[in-house]
Amino acid sequence: MTNENNKTVLSIRDLKVEFTTATGTVNAVRGVDIHVEAGETVAIVGESGSGKSQTMMAAMGLLASNGRTQGEVVYEDRNILGLPISKLNDIRGKKITMIFQEPMTSLDPLYTIGRQLAEPMVVHGGLSWRKAKAKALDLLKLVNIPEPERKIKAYPYEMSGGQRQRVMIAMALANDPDVLIADEPTTALDVTTQAQILDLLRDLQKRLGMAVIFITHDLGIVRRISDRVYVMKTGEVVESGETARIFTQPEHPYTKMLLDAEPTGHKLPVPESAPVLLEAQKVEVEFELDSGFLQPKHVLRAVDSISFSLRKGQTLGIVGESGSGKSTLGRAVLNLLPAGGRVVFHGQQISGLDRTAMRAIRKDMQLIFQDPFGSLSPRMTVGQIISEGLLVHEPSLSAKDRDLRACQALEEVSLDPVMRNRYPHEFSGGQRQRIAIARTMVLKPELVVLDEPTSALDRTIQKQVVELLRNLQTANDLTYLFISHDLAVVRALSDTVMVMQHGKVVEAGTADAIFEAPKQDYTRELIGAAMLTQQQMMETA
Amino acid sequence: MHRYVLGRLLSAIPTLFLIVTISFFLIRIAPGGPFDLERPLEAKVMENLNKIYHLDEPLWNQYLLYLKSIVQLDFGPSFYFRDFSINELFAQSLPISIQLGLTALCLALVVGGTLGVIAALRQNQATDYTVMAAATLGVTIPNFVVAPILTLILGVWLGWLPVGGWNGGAFVNVILPVVTLALPQIAVVARLTRGSMIEALRSNHVRTARAYGLTGYMVIVVHALRGAILPVVSYLGPAAAALLTGSVVIETIFGIPGIGRYFVQGALNRDYTLVMGTVVVVACFVILFNLIVDLLYALLDPRVRYD
C-alpha cells in the first residue's frame, strides 16, 4: 500500500462494507486502504459494482440503512466512521464535501438555487440567511454560472445538467473544505460539458488547494486530472500508484484489461457496387411546444432538413450532444413519428405510409434502444421477448420453431440458449443489451437503427458489444444507423459520420476525414473534448 | 395567477349546469313523488299541492323554473319540511357540518402526517409495524362500530363526555364525533405519508442534504416532507369535500343537526328540491377543493405554476 505521511488529510484504513439483503450478506467493500494528501487529486477507478462509490458513501455516513461498516476513516487524527450523526455533521458538508453522479436529481426541486447554496453556510458557518445568500452569489460567479444574479433565484428544473453540476460544486466549496469527494460528477453530462466541468474542478483545486477524491469509471478522466490512482475490483483495491506509472506499467491483469478496453479497429469499406438501401431526403421533424391560450405557437425544429443515403452493409454514425436531434432523426427514418421530407427504403417510399402498410416493412428495419434495463418487459421470459416479433411477422411458425429461432438468436449473441426461460432482471446490463440485440436479429432485418446501444455499459462490456455488433454486421450483411455521443465507438464502427447540432448537420464525411481532419469548429470542439485523453494515453503508452 | 383562478371558477359553471340537469331528471325517473304517503291524500288536496309546487306543469317547464330560481341562488321550498325553504335548512345545518368536517380534517392531517413520518423514519421496525397495523384497523373498522364503542366507554361508563347532541358546538360535544370522523382519515393519511416519505428519504436530493450535514429538521421536514406531502394533498382534496358536506352515520349516531342526514331524508321522501340542493352543494365543494388542491400544489412545487 502507498505510504501515509504528515500531509495526509483523510485516510481510510481497512474499510469493510457489507449489506444485509433478503438473499444474504453482500460484501460490497472488503478491506480497502485509501488516503489522500492536501492539494492532491486521487482517482478511484473501477467498473459498476466494484464498491468505489460505497467506499466513499461509508466514509460520509451515507450508506443505506442495511449497510454495516468496519475499519477506520481518519480525519484530523479522529476516526469519523460510525460517529453519531450530530458529531459527523460537524465535519461533513464543512470539512469534507461531496458532489454526486446525478446532477439532475441531486438538488431539491422545490427550493431555489440560492436557498440550497445558503443552507450549509447557515448551518456550519453560522451565517445569517442574508449573508449566506450574498456569498452564494460569489460562489455562483466562482463556478462561472452565466447570469448569476438571475440564476440564484432560479429553481433546479430551470437549469441544464452542466449548470446544476456547477451549482453542486459551488455548494461543495461553500465552507472551504479540506477534502472534496466527486462521485462520477461528469458521467451524466455531454462530452463538451464534461470537459468544462473537469477544467473547472482542476482550476478550483489549484486556487483553493483542497484534496480531491475522484470516483470514476473513465480512464480518460483519470489520466487527465489525477496524481494517484486506486484501481478497484469487487470491493478490493487491486492496484494503486502514481497515475503515470499505472498507465505505462500496469501490473494487475484487471488494470491491463481496463486500459485495453478502448474500442479499436476500423470498419472495412463496402464495395462501390453495393445497392442503396436507405435514402433520406430533407427529413424534417417539428415539435409544438406548450404555449398559452391565444399565444403564438412555439415550434421546435428537432430535425431540420437532413438528407443522406446509405448503401447495403454500410454504417452511418450520427454523433451529437443531447438535444441535437439525433435520436429523433433515427425515429423519423423508421417512420415512428410524423416527419416531413422523403424516406426511401429498398426503392419504396415509406414516409407517409400508415401503420398497417408499415407493419410489413417493420421486419426489415429494426431498432435497438439505449436503456437495457427499461426496454425489456420484466414480466416476460427472455425466450418470449426474443420470439415475440416472430408472432407478428412470421405467424405461420409453430411454437417449437419459434423456440428454435430464439435459441439460434441467443447463440448468435453469445448467450447460452438455456437462459431463455429466465427473466430479464436476472441478467447484467451487458447481457440485457445482448438480449435486445437477439430480439432484433431473430427477425433477420436489413437495417438496424442503434440508439446509443453502448452508452449505459461499462467500458469492458462496451468493447464486447461493439465486437458483437461488428461480427453480426459482417455475417448478415446488415446496414446500421448508429446513433451515439461516444466518438470512440462511432469511429470504430462507422463508414461515414454525420455530426449534428440543434437539429442540423454540422459536418458529414467518412469516419477518417471527420476524426482526422475536422473542418467545423463544433466538430473540433467535440473531438477535442473526447479525444484529448486518448491522445495523452497514446503518448504515454 | 388571478386569471387562472377566475378561469377555473368560470369553467365550473358548465360542469354545475350538467350536474344539475342530469340529477334533476334522474330523481324524476325514480317512481313516486313527495306527496305519496302510505295513506293516499284526497284527490283535491293532492291537486292543490301539485299546483302550488308546480308539479302539474310539464317536466320541461319545471326544469326551466328550477334553473331560473337556482341562478338567483334560491333552492326553492322543501317538499317534506313544509315550513322551511332549502336555503333556510342549509343555513342552519351546513355551518355545523363544515365545522365538524374541518376539525376532523385538521386532526387527520396533523396526527396522520406525524404518524406517517415517524413510521417512515423507523421503517421496518416495531414502531413502523405498530403504526401501520393501527392504520389498517382504522380503515377497516367502520365508523358505525367505532362510534357506539367510544360512546359506551367515554360517555356511558366513564361519563367524561356527553353521548350525543350538538349543544351549539360546545367543545365536549365535538370531541367524540370529530374523533370518530377523523379516525379512518388519520389511517389513510398515515399510510400515504409513510409511503411517499420513504421514497423521499431515499431520493438523491435528501442524500445531498445529509451529505452537507444539515440538521435533522432540515433534512426531514424542509427537504423530505415538503415533497412527500404532495400525494397527501391530492388525496385530501376530494376527502375534504366529502368530510365537510356531512356524514349521515356520525350525525345520526351523535344526534347532530348537520347537512348529512338531508341526503337520506331527501332521497327517501322524494323531496326533489332537497336532493337537488344537496347535490349542488356537494358539487360546489368538490369543485372548490379541487381548485384549492391545485393551488396548494403550485405553492408547494415550483415546477407547477399557473400564469
Question: A159-182 burial, b for 16+ CB within 10 Å, e for fewer?
Answer: bebbbbbbbbbbbbbbbebbbbbb
Q: What is the structure's pLDDT at A177?
A: 92
Q: Which residues of B touch A110 (CB under 8 A)?
A: 226-227, 300-302
Digits of tens for pLDDT over chain A (541 positions)? 456 677 899 999 999 999 888 878 888 899 999 999 998 999 999 888 888 989 999 999 988 888 899 999 999 889 999 888 889 999 999 999 999 988 888 999 999 999 999 999 999 988 999 999 999 999 999 888 888 999 899 999 888 888 899 999 999 999 889 999 999 888 777 778 888 888 888 888 888 889 999 998 888 888 888 999 999 998 999 999 999 999 889 999 999 888 887 777 778 888 888 888 999 999 999 887 665 555 666 778 889 889 999 999 999 999 988 878 888 999 999 998 888 889 999 888 988 888 888 888 898 999 998 877 788 998 899 999 999 999 989 889 999 999 999 999 999 888 889 888 888 888 888 888 999 999 999 999 999 999 988 877 887 888 888 989 999 999 999 999 999 888 888 888 999 999 999 889 999 999 888 888 889 998 888 887 776 545 444 444 4
Cβ of A110 and B214 within 8 Å?
no
Q: Is A271 exposed, middle or buried (0-12, 13-18, 19+ CB in 10 A)?
A: exposed
Residues A120 and A117: their CA atoms lie apart, in Å, by 7
Cβ of A92 and B303 within 8 Å?
no
Q: What is the structure's pLDDT at A21?
A: 81
The answer on pLDDT for B306 being more than 70 is no
Residues B5 and B306: their CA atoms lie apart, in Å, by 9
Cβ of A123 and B213 within 8 Å?
yes
pLDDT digits (tens, 9 = 90+) for B21-54: 998 998 888 887 788 777 777 888 888 888 888 8
- Out of A60, A100, A108, closest to residue B223 by CB: A108
Cβ of B207 and A62 within 8 Å?
yes
Q: What is the structure's pLDDT at A159?
A: 87
Q: What is the pTM of this model?
A: 0.80
Cβ of A109 and B302 within 8 Å?
yes
Arithmetic mean of pLDDT, B192-202: 93
Q: Which of B149, B109, B87, B104 is nearest to B246 (CA)?
A: B104
Residues B118 and B131: their CA atoms lie apart, in Å, by 9
The CA distances from residue A61 to A55, A117, B38, B101, in Å, are 10, 21, 77, 45
pLDDT digits (tens, 9 = 90+) for B106-150: 999 999 999 999 999 998 889 999 999 998 888 888 888 988 899
Question: In this complex, how many residue pairs, one in chain A and one in chain B, have their CB atoms less than 8 Å apart?
Answer: 80
Q: Which residues of A touch B203 (CB under 8 A)?
A: 105
Q: Chain A residues with CB-CB distance to B under 8 A?
A: 60-62, 64-65, 85, 88-94, 97-98, 100, 102, 105-112, 119-120, 123-124, 155, 157, 168, 171, 292
Q: What is the structure's pLDDT at A171?
A: 93
Which residue from B minimizes the CA distance to A155?
B302
Chain A interface includes B207 (CB < 8 A): yes
Q: What is the structure's pLDDT at B307?
A: 57
Cβ of A155 and B302 within 8 Å?
yes
Cβ of B205 and A155 within 8 Å?
no
Cβ of B203 and A97 within 8 Å?
no
Q: What is the structure's pLDDT at A450?
A: 93
Angle at B260 between CA B258 and CA B264, to 5 degrees: 130
Chain A interface includes B121 (CB < 8 A): no
Helix (H) or strand (E) holding A450: strand A447-451
Cβ of A93 and B212 within 8 Å?
yes
What rounded mean pLDDT belongs to chain B?
A: 88
Residues A172 and A153: their CA atoms lie apart, in Å, by 19
What is the DSSP annotation of A479-519? EEEEEES-HHHHHHH-SEEEEEETTEEEEEEEHHHHHHS--
Contact (CB, 8 A) for A451 and A433 = no
Say which DSSP state B85 is in: B
Q: Which residues of A touch B10 (CB under 8 A)?
A: none
CB neighbour list of residue A105: distance below 8 Å, 6 or more residues apart = B203, B204, B205
> How many angstroms away from the CA of A154 is the closest CA of chain B?
10
Question: What are phi and psi for residue A31, nearest 5 degrees?
Answer: 80, 80
Q: Which residues of B touch A98 (CB under 8 A)?
A: 211
Q: Which residues of B touch A61 (CB under 8 A)?
A: 210
pLDDT digits (tens, 9 = 90+) for B200-258: 998 999 999 999 999 989 999 999 999 999 999 989 888 888 888 878 888 888 888 88
Cβ of A109 and B213 within 8 Å?
no
> How many angstroms away from the CA of B108 is the closest CA of chain A?
25
Question: Which has the higher per-residue pLDDT, B205 or B269?
Answer: B205
Contact (CB, 8 A) for B293 and B304 = no
> How many angstroms away from the CA of B266 is the closest CA of chain A?
43
- Per 3-state DSSP, chain A is made up of helix, strand and coil in percentages (nearest 5) of 40, 25, 35
Q: Which residues of B touch A93 (CB under 8 A)?
A: 211-214
Cβ of B215 and A171 within 8 Å?
no
Q: What is the structure's pLDDT at A29?
A: 92
Which residue from A minimizes the CA distance to B303?
A157
Q: Which residues of A touch B214 (CB under 8 A)?
A: 89, 93, 119-120, 123
Which residue from A minimizes the CA distance to B298?
A110
Q: Which residues pair with B67 in a beta bridge?
A: none
Question: What are phi and psi for residue A311, nearest 5 degrees?
Answer: -90, 160
Residues B263 and B282: their CA atoms lie apart, in Å, by 10
Chain A interface includes B36 (CB < 8 A): no
Starting at the edge strand found earlier in the chain, the sheet holding A496-501 runs A365-368, A447-451, A479-484, A315-319, A496-501, A504-510
Which residue from A minimizes the CA distance to B212?
A93
ipTM associated with this complex? 0.80
> How many angstroms away from the CA of B268 is the closest CA of chain A?
46
Which one of B121, B198, B205, B226 would you mutate to disrupt binding with A, by most A Cβ within 10 Å of its Cβ? Answer: B205
Lookup result for grid cell 288536496: B45
> How many angstroms away from the CA of B204 is the closest CA of chain A?
5
Residues B267 and B264: their CA atoms lie apart, in Å, by 5
> How many angstroms away from the CA of A19 is the closest CA of chain B?
16
Cβ of A171 and B301 within 8 Å?
no
What is the DSSP annotation of A333-344? HTTSS--EEEEE
> How many angstroms away from the CA of A266 is the closest CA of chain B?
41
Q: Which residues of A touch B300 (CB under 8 A)?
A: 110
Arithmetic mean of pLDDT, B179-206: 93
